[in-house]
Structure 1
Amino acid sequence: MLTLSDIYDRYIKDPTRRRSARTMLAHESTRRVVEDVLGASTPIANITREQCRDLLETLRWLPVNHSKKHGKLSVRDAAALAKRDDRIKTINPTNLNAYMARFATMMNWAVSEEYLGRNPARGLQLAETVHPQDRRQPFEVWQLQRIFNAPIYTGCKDAQNGYAVPGPVIATGARYWVPLISLFTGMRLT
């Protein structure tokens, strides 16, 4: 009987799916958590809706960077610790839903490959706690133009104290590079 770990191996190695390194890293991270909670050797056909709900509940209390901060603890134990100690910051609903969506995607694949009859994780997500109007919005084009037409990019007095004053110098330090790196990598403040 195929286990959760077997199915994950097949899903990750599926040659019909093309994934970026970043996506693969996200799937591997999700896999570690899911296998820790549900059991890597659990037969895939035996995973129930109730176990998927239990996974969701465990993720609700998963500490941020749990593997770095609580590496020796199982996911369940780290979540139980966070549930008891309100000083431990837990992952936000968006990240929790991303874990569940990646798991559900793998389970959908298992259904389409006929390893499962139905997906017990289908549709399990937390309701977003942030109102849509309060979510971070991307910069408008005019805002980006304003930022990148500043003297630091077009020529400034000097790169240290005169970076906001027009002049002949193009800056090269962190003030110059960090916004550009942020623009092209999607970085943001947390």
Structure 2
Amino acid sequence: MRINLPTWLTLFRVALLPVMVVVFYWNFRGHNITAAIVFILAAITDWLDGYLARRLNLTSAFGAFLDPVADKLMVAVTLFLLVEAHRGGWPGILMAITAAVIVGREISISALREWMAEIGMRATVKVAFIGKLKTVMQMIALVVLIVQHEKEAEALRLYHIGEGLLVIAGALTIWSGMHYLRAAWPTLRGDPPKQPGTSKRAEA
């Protein structure tokens, strides 16, 4: 199997995850800002590999499989780091609940898409705008929350900003999840697929 450039970028994104974890816990001056930079670099490769795959027509089955896996790993690992770092009190509880909602949604929608693909209905649950908006808000919130650990950033009171953005991302996560579930609900309910050109009058 020949690995093309977009797939190499996806693999690079996966390789950045242990680097981010080590930097996050390594106690040196500016370690959290460095961890945030690593996260941003990973997020850039997320956009870049998709852009190059479309622009240069370098799509592949392995790349199509690996890209969403890398995205979900990046978000899940970062959320786990932040939850562990914010244990105790209502802020920690809120962080844990929001992280559980986001990770739970990702697992559920991934399972839904896999099942819909098996029955040839994958296009029914294709990515919607609300899903993309959720991803952008989520990435911004995670960057802010990683940076806020740094002592030099404490005066900026970034924690509450990042916390608020993550809660908004969590709400968008639920909204987008309901959007995909609603699109797939007729199939989940066992309704027969509509034939092309079938109108509501004909169905009645």
The answer, yes or no, to whether TM exceeds 0.5 is no
- Higher relative contact order (Cα pairs below 8 Å, separated by 6+ residues): 2
Q: TM-score, normalised by structure 2?
A: 0.26
Normalised by the size of structure 1, how large is the TM-score? 0.27
Q: Which has the higher helix share?
A: 2
